[in-house]
């Protein structure tokens, strides 16, 4: 492994170790890179989010290592020890349970502090669920925002969605099986049932599925088969499109909506009103939600 010497090392005049940030697969073990294997083999210590998971991964590739736990609860306190190892010349690697460390995974505090102090930090790139999902979504990729996991508390979750409702960029969210259904319901409520969405489920694994449709249809798809709610998910939402949503609801459509929401669920009322009037379902859905509130 070639070593570049940092300013800090030159000042100290001794060889300092480096910290490699190593991406690992998100399902299919064949996605590990040759360089990741090489770096993991050569590291004196591997910092792992969960040492049991990483031990299984390393065993698969015949790698033995000194594994050290680095998770969200001990990250801050472990930094001093990690600096001692680096100062003693050890090369370290950081891995998480899946994908790229620091991407909704531990490592941020460590990298921030080491970078500020001039330590050498080496990226060893590979898989991340965001990029994997975006690469097959078929939604705009020229500009996108990564939103990570939505807050668990419903008020905070709705606030974040509302803040993103008119964002023109494609939005990428992570979600687990426990909350996928309620998240899609909340998204339909805030973004409108006909906002385009791509749900990437169990990427690179046996039951990989990529669902493309709108948020209204996705709610039905999730309910149609309990298997659809299992596993890990990336949710990709199309950015807000101005012309599509600025449709003014005229007085007769509003009257029609008022009649329909008295009898039907909002989503169905908006869909029916759209068929009758030819106006955008999304705009009618928003109006129906407003009418319902008032
Ligand atoms: N560091 C990882 C990365 O680079 O993507 C993400 C770790 S985060 C704790 C775990 C979340 O990533 C899951 O809840 C899911 O939203 C997403 N994810 C990870 N693996 C996935 C997969 N195989 N298919 C779909 N989503 C996945």
Which CATH number goes with the domain that contains 84? 3.40.1010.10
Q: Same structural domain for residues 12 and 105?
A: yes
What does the pLDDT read at residue 251? Answer: 78
Ligand 1 pocket: which of 131, 234, 237 to mutate (most atoms <8 Å of CB)? Answer: 234
pLDDT of 45-67, one tens digit each? Answer: 999 999 999 999 999 999 999 99
Is 245 inside a domain boundary? no
CATH code at 209? 3.30.950.10
Domain that includes residue 28, residue range:
3-127
| Ligand 1, CB within 6 Å, residue ranges | 26-27, 96, 98-100, 103-105, 128-130, 174-176, 200, 202-205, 232-234
Is 242 inside a domain boundary? no
What is the tally of structural domains in the chain? 3
Is 246 inside a domain boundary? no
CA–CA gap between residue 54 and residue 111 (Å, rounded): 20
- Which residue has the CA at smallest separation from atom 2 of ligand 1? 99
Last residue of a domain, one of 88, 103, 127: 127
Give, in order, the Cα–Cα distances in Å from 100 to each of 30, 78, 178, 291: 15, 20, 22, 45
Give the residue ranges of the chain where pLDDT is below 50.
1-3, 244-245
Q: Same structural domain for residues 41 and 74?
A: yes
pLDDT of 186-225, one tens digit each? Answer: 999 999 999 999 999 999 999 999 999 999 999 999 999 9
| pTM given for the model | 0.83
Ligand 1 pocket: which of 26, 108, 171, 201 to mutate (most atoms <8 Å of CB)? Answer: 26
Is 7 inside a domain boundary? yes
Q: Same structural domain for residues 84 and 15?
A: yes
What does the pLDDT read at residue 6? Answer: 54
């Amino acid at each position: 492994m070639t070593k570049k010497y940092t300013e800090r090392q030159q000042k100290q005049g001794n060889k300092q170790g480096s910290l490699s940030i190593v991406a690992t697969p998100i399902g299919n073990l064949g996605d590990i890179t040759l360089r990741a294997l090489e770096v993991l083999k050569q590291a004196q210590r591997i910092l792992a989010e969960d040492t049991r998971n990483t031990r299984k991964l390393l065993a698969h590739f015949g790698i033995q290592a000194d594994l050290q736990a680095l998770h969200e609860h001990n990250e801050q306190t472990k930094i001093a020890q990690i600096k001692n190892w680096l100062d003693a010349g050890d090369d370290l690697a950081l891995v998480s349970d899946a994908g790229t460390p620091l991407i909704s995974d531990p490592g941020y505090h460590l990298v921030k502090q080491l970078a500020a102090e001039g330590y050498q930090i080496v990226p060893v790139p590979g898989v991340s669920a965001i990029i994997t999902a975006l690469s097959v979504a078929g939604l705009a990729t020229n500009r996108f925002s990564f939103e990570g996991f939505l807050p668990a508390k419903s008020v905070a979750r709705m606030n974040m969605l509302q803040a993103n409702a008119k964002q023109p960029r494609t939005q990428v969210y992570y979600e687990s099986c426990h909350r996928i259904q309620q998240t899609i319901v909340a998204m339909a409520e805030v973004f409108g049932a006909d906002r385009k969405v791509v749900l990437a489920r169990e990427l690179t694994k046996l039951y990989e599925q990529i669902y493309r449709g709108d948020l209204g249809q996705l709610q039905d798809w999730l309910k149609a088969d309990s298997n659809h709610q299992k596993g890990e998910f990336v949710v990709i939402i199309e950015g807000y499109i101005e012309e599509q949503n600025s449709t003014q609801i005229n007085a007769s459509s509003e009257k029609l909506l008022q009649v329909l929401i008295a009898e039907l669920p909002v989503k169905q009322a908006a869909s029916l009103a759209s068929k009758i009037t030819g106006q955008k379902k999304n705009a009618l859905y928003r109006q129906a939600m407003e009418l319902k509130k008032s």
